[in-house]
């Protein structure tokens, strides 16, 4: 192979690594909670996976998918080895289970951790993210942030009609816990699974109010030095829905 051909070889830069689609929680809005969903673990062995990714480093590996990475046996051993190989790792987790010391030390070496937390109201959180307890997430975050160093920590809020009023308070909560970012995900609606906790996209319920709350939350985040993102076109969607509101 000549030099030019080598330059044309595609280089792997980014990998989204789903070790499992199983989960310890059953959040009301998640595909995992649908009655016909069956979670599966990755079938590729960890040694083979590590070999496939190579030991020259340079790959951005995001441990995320539909399930919960931290329930997979030895997930932290694999994560540490991949970082030892020079790759950059990030994790999205529900952080619902108290972290073992080994998991904590691996997470503290990561570039970013995203914790899914829609509200800082403990009762509402427990009803939305069934199985999740605010005090356990808080305890894990305190250990991750201890000493000030460690990964960039973001909150992922799945933005629904049930949590929109609490969004500014969630930003204050993130700042008080020394986190770096609040991000909103744009709800993809699945059939409702809990008649006691129906969740809807804010654009269908009250886009004008939702937009005002997003703007207020963004301002509060900026004032307190936090990053703030509304992902996947959420803000644009609220702007469009507001222009048509109230619906005929
Ligand atoms: C599918 S979870 C997987 C990682 C991990 N189990 C967690 O909850 O952080 C990744 C993110 O997607 C969000 N999510 C789940 N269902 C969603 C939906 N229907 N629409 C938009 N975001 C959703 C979750 O709240 C979470 O922040
Ligand atoms: S913790 Fe994550 S994967 Fe599990 S049900 Fe909730 S959103 Fe879905």
pTM reported for the whole predicted model: 0.94
Q: What is the pLDDT along the chain (248 residues), one digit of tens a residue?
A: 455 556 667 788 999 999 999 999 999 999 999 999 999 999 999 999 999 999 999 999 999 888 999 999 999 999 999 999 999 999 999 999 999 999 999 999 999 999 999 999 999 999 999 989 999 999 999 999 998 789 999 999 999 999 999 999 999 999 999 999 999 999 999 999 999 999 999 999 999 999 999 999 999 999 999 999 999 999 999 999 999 998 75
For residue 65, report the phi and psi dihedrals to the nearest 5 degrees.
Answer: 165, -145
Ligand number, closest to the Cα atom of 113: 1
Instruction: Note whether 29 and 73 are within 8 A (CB).
Output: no
Count helices and strands (H / E) in the chain: 10, 9
- Residue 94 in contact with ligand 1 by CB distance below 6 A: yes
DSSP state of 206: -
Dist. CA 30–CA 165, nearest whole Å: 21
* Cβ pair 60, 88 in contact under 8 A: yes
Q: Which residue's structure tokens are 């540490």?
A: 80
For ligand 1, is residue 156 a contact (CB within 6 Å)?
Answer: yes
How far is the centre of ligand 2, averaged over its atoms, from the C-alpha of 192 (Å)?
15
What is the 22 CA–ligand 1 centroid distance (Å)?
A: 13
For ligand 1, whether the C-beta of 106 sits within 6 Å is no
Give me ligand 2 centre to Cα 186, in Å.
15
The protein residue with its alpha carbon nearest to ligand 2, atom 3, reads 67
What's the CA-to-centroid distance between 30 and ligand 1, angstroms? 6
Q: How many CB atoms lie within 10 A of CB 126?
A: 13
∠ CA 14-29-239 to the nearest 5 degrees? 80
For the chain, list the domains and their CATH numbers.
11-243 (3.20.20.70)
């Amino acid at each position: 192979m000549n030099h030019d051909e080598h330059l044309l070889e595609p280089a792997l830069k980014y990998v989204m690594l789903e070790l499992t689609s199983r989960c310890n929680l059953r959040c009301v809005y998640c595909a995992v909670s649908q009655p016909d969903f069956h979670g599966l673990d990755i079938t590729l062995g960890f040694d083979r996976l590590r070999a496939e990714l190579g030991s020259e480093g340079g790959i951005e590996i995001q441990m995320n998918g539909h399930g919960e990475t931290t329930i997979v046996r030895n997930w932290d051993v694999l994560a540490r080895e991949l970082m030892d190989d020079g790759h950059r790792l990030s994790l999205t987790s529900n952080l619902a289970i108290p972290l073992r010391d080994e998991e904590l030390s691996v997470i503290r070496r990561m570039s970013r951790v995203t914790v899914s937390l829609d509200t800082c109201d403990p009762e509402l959180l427990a009803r939305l993210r069934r199985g999740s307890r605010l005090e356990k997430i808080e305890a894990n975050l305190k250990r991750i942030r201890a000493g000030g160093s460690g990964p960039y920590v973001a909150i992922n809020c799945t933005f629904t009609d049930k949590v929109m009023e609490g969004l500014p308070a969630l930003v204050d909560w993130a700042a008080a816990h020394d986190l770096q970012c609040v991000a909103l995900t744009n709800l993809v609606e699945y059939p409702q699974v809990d008649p006691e906790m129906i969740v809807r996209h804010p654009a269908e319920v009250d886009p004008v109010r939702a937009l005002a709350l997003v703007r207020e939350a963004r301002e509060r985040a900026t004032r307190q030095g936090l990053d703030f993102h509304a992902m996947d076109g959420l803000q644009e969607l609220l702007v469009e829905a507001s222009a048509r509101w109230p619906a005929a």
